Amino acid sequence: FFYKASRFVRCMKRGPSQQEQASQNKRQKEGSMDGAAAPAVSADREHLMLVKVLQLAQQPAQKLSVANVGEFLDGEANRIAGERSLEDAVMFLAAGWRRSEEGGVVPSTWDGIAPLQEAVLTASLALLLGASSEQKVTLILGLLNNRVPIRLMNELLLAAAEDDAVPPVLVSRLASQLKNRTLNDLRSQQFSQLIHVLRAKKDKNQSKYVNALVSSPLKEELWKPPFESKFVWRDKKKNVVATQTEGLFLQENSLLGWALSPSPLDSALVPPSKAHLTEAGSKEWDHLTRATRGRVEGLQRGLQTKLTSSQDQAAEFVDIILRAGDEPRMAVLEWLGAIITTAEPRGKQGQPAPEGFNFWPQYGNHVIDCLNQQEPGAFERSMKNLLLLQALHARLQGFPTSGMALNAFTLLLHLLKPIKPEQASTVSAFFPVRDDVPQLLGNYHKEARFGEKEQIEAATASAKSDPACTTALSDKSLFKSQIFWLTTKGVGYLLMPVAKESFHAWQNLASAMYDKDREISDGATREFMLAEAALKESRFLERLGHLVDLTFRFLQHAAAGGQQALPPPAPGPSWHVMPSSVLENVLELCDLYRDRERKKTAGGIPTGLFIHVDPDPVLTTLCIVMASEDHVRDPSLRGRAVKLLHRLCFAFRSWRDKLNHPPLDKQLIPCLVNVFIAVEKAIMSYYDLSYRYKYELRVPVMDLFDLTLQTEGHREVLDQFIKGDGNDKFLKLLTQLINDSNSQIEEAIRTVKEYHEKQSQSQSSDPAAQRHDEQVLEDDRTGDGDEAEDIYRRSRMNYKEHAKKYFGLAARTWKQMWLLCKLCAPVIVEGRATLEQLLHSSLDAQLHYLVGPEMKSIKASPQEYDELGFNPKELVKQIAESYLFLVRANKDEVVRVVGKDERYYSATTFSKACSFVRKYGLLMGKDLEDFDLFCKELAEKVSQHRAAFDEADIPSNYLCEIMADIMSDPVMFPQSRKVADRTSALRVIMGNDRDPFANTPVKVEDLIPQTELKEEIHRFAKEKGIALEGGNMFD
């Protein structure tokens, strides 16, 4: 047997490593240099060295030498194995190997070191190969707990792996030690032993231990145990609407789940008897509301050290498996895909049952309401119990807990890191349309996409020939696309629920309950600080920034189809099949992190996440989304894009400077115009009767207009745009500004009137009667998606707050209209429909309210005006200057249009306005003279025009159906067959693109000219001396 084993051992032995070979060459070189001077080592000295290295208990029967030491070691090892154990025998041999490498035992130049180590290796392998499978496993486990040289250990592992029964048993016993790992008990030694075993392989891509882990029977025992759903939810018709998933099961019963479980965020899963072993149960994290920032940061740094250590272990473990071949790589990807898919219920709101496992909707208002309510029992008013309920929901639904989800996402970021930013274009946009993609991405193929149904079908058909769809799913070439899409999906289902719960719920709850319930506030602060430590860890932010940068580059390439990004080209198949959630999630992620790291002293320098993000692809992609309805049809999503661009540019000076460089210096203005028009249709909910969501989306657009139009280059772009192809869009923008300003100021004034009426009445005994008539409606929130914040919560409960909100919006809108009148007056005057609306509905009307008789109803003290944020002087000044801008462009046309306004124009009102601006010094010098002259000429011309108009008996069919005024260019709406003046019809269409009588869609080109009627009207006006818009055709 020994003869056969020795032959096998010689086949198994590997040559010396490069390091060992270098040491051997060094010894030979040093020996040759001393050869002439130093005599050869005597046989006695060689014997003494071997005895010293082996530390023999008694002198051997024969003198040891390099030539016979192998035979001696074989005999001695067999003797020890027989008398004691196999492990002791191998440890005797390993100790000799180790001492031969240690300094001070033998000279490093001794030529006998390499032969001795080869003899030790031969004897050890002979012992191992002579053992049974169980003895081999026991021996390896024992050696892993002792100091065994790495090369010797690796050779023994490779030899043991030749026995097919060894790898499954060995891996199973090592893995079982990792169950129930915690952040304070990482079992690092046991994990290192498992890593050591999995690394053992003959060649680069083959490891019998890794293959054993992902193959039967360990696949069913450790990697992905079979799961049986125990809970099913049905609707009233007994249809299955939800089932328990395997997320938490994999977290608690699989090896990769044990590797990723240690976290400070899942204390609710720990039994009460072990709660003190968790971070949340530690006394160090109590009473943080009264702790200094230095103490908190110290605790967070310590926690980050432990957390990153655990995450590094998991990353190293996964890296080994990924490099072991196609089957192990697919096993890892499928496991991660299963975790992300099972997290979908928590990443979405409105799940059928059970609900309530998310605390972050409405920016934390949900959980704040729960804890403030007095009707439920004390159990539901305890934050600790709410966390227990959340853990119970995790068990019922089967989704992974917060800590597990965050660690899994961190692992995905680690795997994504090797993909360089410039490789974003190599990621396949067609991968999610593969037929077998549910194997990795679950229900991702059902996500809403940017294309229409026909476009998606055509793109899917063309994708069948793309390599991303024809290559086998297990092919290594698809790994970049697989990891990118898994990570992209993980943003919405793994990261965002945890981040929003931390930044929305816990942070806001800690503040809201600070004075009401200090215990709840302390608990919320602790949960926030624990989550913040993980979410703001420097390496995590670096990798998250890499993901954001890669995602925006990928979106830009897909949107532009590899062409010039701005102005946006027509979208192609790669954009049509793009899930809209990719853009939605990255916008929400950037918005969530936009100022978490920004300090007031930073001076506008990017910090935190945005240190690692290139602004160019981000700003370019946002402009594509803002500008092109072909790319993104959802106006709310386009509005969110401009909000993010606004926040980033106003936060970071270097990002703001990019707006003045190509391509944004020529393309930003058209993008802003397009997105302003688009959000007209962005209605958040049925109850958003005052269009608050629309107004909130338009404020960033107006701020960006103010910022960009301060530079001459952007003003030139605006001038070219409005005088060219963008004229209609500009006039539509101005029309919507007019409508917004009227609605906002009317809402504010109405609220002030009601407030004054309430003050004059005796207070009602019914508390409900004292509340604002607009009650807080659960569905009426503004923000982004289902989790949006109800920012008008306080407003609706308080008249002054509500009025202040709308006065602020109105002031912002008026400032924008004033700026456009200043820069674009000639174009505005040429657009007769818009000019009439601007003068009649806005300038004339607001002057009527501000200095006319209506002002008495909202007249208040300057102090109350300040409380409401209402500045009537500034508004009157803007109105007067707007008149002057327009008059200087075309006085006759402005006078004619104002003269038509029988509802709001009054010579008395304009005279009071002139006195008002003179009294308070709102206009000075030539501006004051011009405004006074305009008011006088206007009164004279209007008097003459109205006298001629009153004397004429105008036939009813000559009057506009909309304005009841004589028409100059009659047109017919095709659906309702109603006739109106072209100016009035254009104004309506620019407002909402609908027939005002039939409430059906209509375009400007659909209007039917009434040529004969027009000629009749112009003849009649010529005879009666009535001035018509644009002049009379017979003049």
Tokens describing residue 598: 């920004």
Strand order in 970-972's β-sheet? 979-981, 970-972, 1008-1009
What type of residue is 742?
N
Q: How far is the C-alpha of 619 from the C-alpha of 642, rounded, in Å?
A: 10
**Greater pLDDT, 45 or 415:** 415
Half-sphere exposure (Cβ direction) of 566: Cα atoms closer than 13 Å: 23
Q: Looking at the predicted structure, is the pLDDT value of residue 762 above 50? A: no
| Residues 199-222: tens digit of each pLDDT | 998 876 678 999 999 999 999 999
Q: How far is the C-alpha of 979 from the C-alpha of 962, rounded, in Å?
A: 9
Could you tell me where the beta strands, DSSP code E, fall in 174-239? Answer: 232-234
C-alpha distances out from residue 392 to 266, 370, 682, Å:
12, 17, 38
Q: Long-range contacts made by residues 847-856, C-beta under 8 angstroms, separation at least 24?
A: 847/876, 847/879, 847/904, 847/909, 847/910, 847/913, 848/904, 848/906, 848/909, 849/745, 849/749, 850/875, 850/876, 850/879, 850/913, 851/876, 851/909, 851/912, 851/913, 851/916, 852/906, 852/908, 852/909, 852/912
Q: How far is the C-alpha of 818 from the C-alpha of 842, rounded, in Å?
A: 11
Element of type H or E holding 155: helix 150-161
**Greater pLDDT, 556 or 371:** 556
- pLDDT above 70 coverage of the chain, percent: 87
Q: Looking at the predicted structure, is the pLDDT value of residue 996 above 70? A: yes
Q: Looking at the predicted structure, is the pLDDT value of residue 142 above 70? A: yes
Q: How far is the C-alpha of 449 from the C-alpha of 581, rounded, in Å?
A: 8
Q: Looking at the predicted structure, is the pLDDT value of residue 5 above 50? A: no
In sequence order, what are the beta bridge partners of 203? 206
pLDDT score of 749: 84
Q: How far is the C-alpha of 452 from the C-alpha of 469, rounded, in Å?
A: 21
C-alpha distances out from residue 339 to 401, 406, 943, Å:
10, 11, 78
Asked whether the beta carbons of 633 and 583 are under 8 A apart, the reply is: no
SS3 85: coil
| Residues 257-276: tens digit of each pLDDT | 999 999 999 988 888 888 88
- Provide Rg for the chain, Cα atoms: 39
Minimum mean pLDDT range among 484-498, 607-621, 748-762: 748-762
What is the torsional sign of CA 722, 728, 731, 733? negative
Minimum mean pLDDT range among 375-384, 469-478, 527-536: 375-384
Place of tokens 């920016």: 363
Minimum mean pLDDT range among 197-206, 412-421, 594-603, 869-878: 594-603
Asked whether the beta carbons of 64 and 50 are under 8 A apart, the reply is: yes
Question: Is-cis flag, bond preceding 421, omega within 30?
Answer: no
- What length does the chain have? 1035
pLDDT score of 758: 76
905 φ, ψ (degrees, to nearest 5): -75, 135
**Greater pLDDT, 495 or 775:** 495
Q: Average pLDDT in the 83-112 region?
A: 89
Residues in Cβ contact with 298 at an 8 Å cutoff, skipping those fewer than 6 apart: none
Q: Looking at the predicted structure, is the pLDDT value of residue 6 above 50? A: no
**Greater pLDDT, 139 or 693:** 139
Q: How far is the C-alpha of 988 from the C-alpha of 273, rounded, in Å?
A: 70
pLDDT score of 694: 87
Asked whether the beta carbons of 354 and 494 are under 8 A apart, the reply is: no
Residues in Cβ contact with 774 at an 8 Å cutoff, skipping those fewer than 6 apart: 796, 802
Residues in Cβ contact with 760 at an 8 Å cutoff, skipping those fewer than 6 apart: none
SS3 readout for 962-1004: CCCCECCCEEECCCCCCEEEHHHHHHHHHHHCECCCCCCECCH
Write down the pTM of the prediction. Answer: 0.86
pLDDT score of 849: 85
pLDDT band of residue 664 (cuts 50, 70, 90) is: very high
Q: Pairing mode, if any, of strands 240-243 and 232-234?
A: antiparallel
Find, among 159, 65, 162, the residue nearest to 116 by Cα. Answer: 65
Q: How far is the C-alpha of 514 from the C-alpha of 507, rounded, in Å?
A: 11
The string over 101-132, giving b where at least 16 C-beta atoms fall within 10 Å of a residue's C-beta and e elsewhere, is eeeeebeeebbbbbebbbbbbbbbbbbbbbbe
DSSP string of 481-499, one letter each residue: HHHHHHHHHHIIIIIHHHH
What type of residue is 606?
P
| Residues 563-582: tens digit of each pLDDT | 999 999 999 999 999 999 99
DSSP string of 743-797, one letter each residue: HHHHHHHHHHHHHHHHHHSPPPSSGGGGS-SS---TT--BSSSTT-B-TTHHHHH
Q: Looking at the predicted structure, is the pLDDT value of residue 497 above 60? A: yes
pLDDT score of 21: 57
Q: Average pLDDT in the 372-380 region?
A: 60
Asked whether the beta carbons of 749 and 849 are under 8 A apart, the reply is: yes
Quote the DSSP letter at residue 203: B
| Residues 777-827: tens digit of each pLDDT | 333 334 444 334 444 444 445 778 888 889 999 999 999 999 999 999 999
Q: How far is the C-alpha of 541 from the C-alpha of 610, rounded, in Å?
A: 9
428 φ, ψ (degrees, to nearest 5): -80, 125
Q: Average pLDDT in the 137-161 region?
A: 95
Q: How far is the C-alpha of 78 from the C-alpha of 85, rounded, in Å?
A: 10
Q: Looking at the predicted structure, is the pLDDT value of residue 474 above 90? A: yes
DSSP string of 1011-1027, one letter each residue: HHHHHHHHHHHHHHT--
pLDDT score of 770: 41
Place of tokens 């899994």: 408
Burial of 31 (0-12, 13-18, 19+ CB in 10 A): middle
pLDDT band of residue 356 (cuts 50, 70, 90) is: very low
Half-sphere exposure (Cβ direction) of 105: Cα atoms closer than 13 Å: 18
Average pLDDT over the chain, rounded to whole?
86
C-alpha distances out from residue 96 to 41, 51, 63, 93, 160, Å:
20, 10, 17, 5, 21
Q: Average pLDDT in the 851-859 region?
A: 72
Q: Count of H helices and E strands in the chain? A: 48, 5
pLDDT score of 572: 94
pLDDT score of 707: 95
